[in-house]
Structure 1
Amino acid sequence: MAAFALFSLLTAGCVFIDGEHVKDTDWEVEQRDNRAAISKLEIGMTREAVLDRLGTPNDSEAFTADGEEVRVLFYRTRHTTSDGRTTRDETTPLVFRGDRLVGWGDEVYSDLR
């Protein structure tokens, strides 16, 4: 009985396929959760409110445009390469002007540049 309990604890969050051990990947969960949270965002939200919902971004940048502060937070939402790194092409940019969310997605981000 003790061996079974120990085995259960050690394999929690894991999957066995044809006898092969496959661990659930964190990036899949992160991507799914980020996509779900982003789909519920609303234009005009504060950056703080977005950070409360999504947590720390995978990447970010800040600059001024037309005398106004612009911040872009990048959250991982899609998998492209299994290299252990999150690159910008695997993220969705969230764009803030003056601390308010003005949009998200590659097209919004491209229009800034």
Structure 2
Amino acid sequence: MKKLLLTALLSAPLLTGCVVAVSDGEVDHGWASDYNNNDWRHTQKMNRDKIAKLVLGTDYSSVVNTFSTPDFSESLEKEGAVYQVLYFATHSKHSDGKTTKDECTPLLFKDGKLVGFGETALKALL
């Protein structure tokens, strides 16, 4: 009995492991396990409704408070101005629980003010 207990105690550290999470550029909203659920559709519809009501010139902080956390965000400085781009899921192609940028609508801010949204606005910056 003592040998069995000693073997178990000495083997425990060898049985531990670690988990490594790797991001593939997608945001996992936990929908994959329940992708028949309509929550993601509801969220995307709400995002589309909010975007439709946006007014150019709105402060960055006001938009973030309205939408909550974006699915993706980027920022850069160009010609002395600071640009921020927030991406919100609006049109998923798959109900797989992952959101990619091509399933999002970008909101473009210049020096803390909303100056455009959608692919046209983003392409104008580039």
Q: Deviating runs (4+, > 6 A) in structure 1?
A: none
Structure 1 counterpart SS, 2:70 = coil
2: distance between equivalents of 1:23 and 1:85?
13
Verify the 8 A CA contact 2:89 2:104 in the aligned structure 1: yes
2: distance between equivalents of 1:81 and 1:33?
18
TM-score normalized with structure 1 length:
0.77
Aligned partner (choices 101, 105, 112) of residue 99 of structure 1: 112
The match for 2:85 is 72
Instruction: Answer 1 or 2: higher relative contact order, Cα 8 Å, separation at least 6.
Output: 2
Q: In proportion to residue count, which structure has more strand?
A: 1
Displacement of 1:85: 1.1
Letter in structure 2 aligned against 1:105: G
CA-to-aligned-CA distance 1:13-53 (integer Å, 9 cap, x gap) = xxxxxxxxx95322101100000111111000000110111
| Bigger Rg over Cα | 2
Unaligned runs of 5+ in 1: 1-21
Percent identical across equivalent pairs?
37
Structure 2 counterpart SS, 1:89 = helix
Corresponding position: 1:52 with 2:65: yes
TM-score normalized with structure 2 length:
0.69
Unaligned runs of 5+ in 2: 1-34
Displacement of 1:81: 2.3
RMSD: 1.4
Letter in structure 1 aligned against 2:93: T
Corresponding position: 1:63 with 2:76: yes
